[in-house]
Amino acid sequence: MSIYLNKILPVLLLPTGILLVLLIMALLLKHRWPLIAALLLVWIGSTPALSEHLQRWLENGAIRVPATEMPAADAIVVLSEGRVVAPGPARISEWTDGDRFWGGIELYRAGKAPLLFFTGGWAPWLSSARLEGEILTQAAFAQGVPAAAIRTTGRVTNTAEEARAVAEMLASHNMGKPDRKPVVLLVTSAYHMPRARRQFESAGLSVLPFPVDFQVGQEREFSVISLLPSAQAWARTESAWRELIGRGYYALSTSARPPSP
């Protein structure tokens, strides 16, 4: 139930939800200002100038570096990002974006850690789908990663659960030492990295971030196109706003959590 609340409740705080509220207000109140506000929201929210600025701000100035330049760690952790079950009786799972997976493979091939973890992302509205970690385990094995080096968590539905599951598994592997926390190379989308890093550090791990899946390319420059609305920019703004809500939720839940004895 909690995953439904986490996904449904923020809808009215997202640009699309706010837009619908404004349009309903315009119909019910018969005032112009909600309609004008809705038009401004659509125009500003769907401009690349805003969406790209939001995404780069969320990415916190992160850059992509070669795996060979990263320090060594105890384990590489690749976070789930969602997959699509293609129509048909075979129910074949397809990529939404493979950057996280290939980032983990790149780090392993560079010899940066002896273990490669995949998290078992799951959603109740795709209850019959296999856990993402199980699928990526097979894909990693097909890429030449030894089965003995691959680990996957059980079912997880959010970043906090991913962090706790990985921390427990590393503890069972005795990766930590009395004077040192287990060190993980964390692979996730650049915009998601700041929140994910805090969750993994709160779970008792030392994190070396390896951000991938950048939403805005380095070559992008401001032009008149940056002020023209597009559906892609609106979707990017929506994604950025959802991440901001997620950060706010985790910040509030952390501050409300009682201190450890």
Return the CATH number at 183: 3.40.50.620
| 119 and 190 assigned to the same domain | yes
| 10 and 129 assigned to the same domain | no
Q: pLDDT tens digits for 30-52?
A: 899 999 999 999 999 999 999 99
Has residue 261 been placed in a domain? no
Rounded to whole angstroms, the Cα distance separating 97 from 212 reads 11
Asked whether the beta carbons of 29 and 41 are under 8 A apart, the reply is no
Has residue 54 been placed in a domain? yes
With a pLDDT cut of 90, the percent of the chain lying above it is 66
Mean pLDDT, residues 114-128? 84
If we measure between CA atoms, which residue out of 3, 254, 258 comes closest to residue 121? Answer: 3
Q: pLDDT tens digits for 71-90?
A: 999 999 999 988 888 888 88
Q: Which structural domain, as residue segments, surrounds residue 227?
A: 2-59+220-256
Separation in Å, CA 200 to CA 15, 45, 159: 29, 32, 8
Residue 175 pLDDT > 70: no
| 96 and 138 assigned to the same domain | yes
Amino acid at 36: I
Rounded to whole angstroms, the Cα distance separating 131 from 126 reads 10
| 198 and 87 assigned to the same domain | yes
Has residue 79 been placed in a domain? yes
Poorest-pLDDT segment among 64-68, 172-176, 183-187, 203-207: 172-176
| 122 and 52 assigned to the same domain | no
| 202 and 114 assigned to the same domain | yes
pLDDT of residue 218: 72
Has residue 232 been placed in a domain? yes
| 127 and 160 assigned to the same domain | yes
Mean pLDDT of the chain: 88
| 79 and 114 assigned to the same domain | yes
Separation in Å, CA 258 to CA 199, 254, 261: 16, 8, 9
| 16 and 104 assigned to the same domain | no
pTM of the prediction? 0.86
| 196 and 125 assigned to the same domain | yes
To the nearest 10°, report the CA torsion of 167, 168, 173, 179.
Answer: 60
Into how many domains does the chain fold?
2
| pLDDT band at residue 226 using 50, 70 and 90 as cut-offs | confident
Residue 259 pLDDT > 60: no
Residue 185: Cβ-neighbour burial (10 angstroms; 0-12, 13-18, 19+): buried
Mean pLDDT, residues 62-70? 96
Rounded to whole angstroms, the Cα distance separating 32 from 26 reads 6
